[in-house]
Structure 1
């Protein structure tokens, strides 16, 4: 499957803190930047953090129940290969990242088996990172 890179711009009220988080904690390569925004290579996609005053959505989190967990909404993320997901989970733990939903495996041993984890960046943007044992199951019903 060939994918086109997506572009996502998100608000951050602490540009230096968010820059450190995405650059150092995640290890993302930085692209162009200004005093108001920074581009990152988000696993082949363009993620841009934009300086903006704190929003109401960043002050209070909405969540929906999924498999006994409170999943923050909205959220964004990426689907990684299984080993890449495991390595990222270990990297984030080594940086002392606090998870909203700790890394775990859903549907273990079943069709659609997937690993997932949720966390917030320093400015309250929710992220989810997933991996599927069988990538052909991403859109399965």
Structure 2
């Protein structure tokens, strides 16, 4: 089944910093833009950063426990191939990006085993990037 691209618009309180982060740190291609927003090709999906004041979630991120870690809520991200995930983790380290949860293997040896990492953009939006060696485990119980 071919996936349809999603569209996600998120608030950023510093458009120039957020633009540099998504463009330079992640290497995302810019699309349309104005003085107040920028579109990015987020792995084939449309991510739009909109200049806005910080939201309560950006000011005081909530968490839920998962596999011994405090996972930030809300968050968004993408499921990458294993190789893409490893490449991105190395790229983020090269940029000295601080992680909320360092890259690691979650649920190791269990159903749903996955590589995951969490970080914040410069405006406090939480992102998760994950990968499965066996993508059929994405919705496994």
RMSD across aligned C-alpha pairs, in angstroms?
A: 0.9
**Secondary structure, in 3 states, of the residue corresponding to 1:133?**
coil
Unaligned runs of 5+ in 2: none
Q: TM (normalized to structure 2)? A: 0.97
Runs ≥4 in structure 1, deviation > 3 angstroms? none
Q: CA separation in 2, counterparts of 1:16 and 1:10?
A: 14
Deviations 1:11-68 (A, max 9, x none): 0000000000000000000000000000000000000000001222211111011111
Say if 2:107 is the partner of 1:107: yes
Q: What displacement does 1:109 show? A: 3.6
TM-score by length of 1: 0.97
Contact 2:65/2:71 (8 A) holds in 1: yes
Is 1:26 aligned with 2:23? no
Unaligned runs of 5+ in 1: none
Q: Count residues with an aligned counterpart.
A: 141
**What SS does structure 2 have at the residue aligned with 1:21?**
helix
Q: Is the 8 A contact 1:112 1:133 kept in 2?
A: no
Kept in 2, the 8 Å contact 1:78–1:128? The answer is yes
In 1, Cα distance between equivalents of 2:21 and 2:35: 17
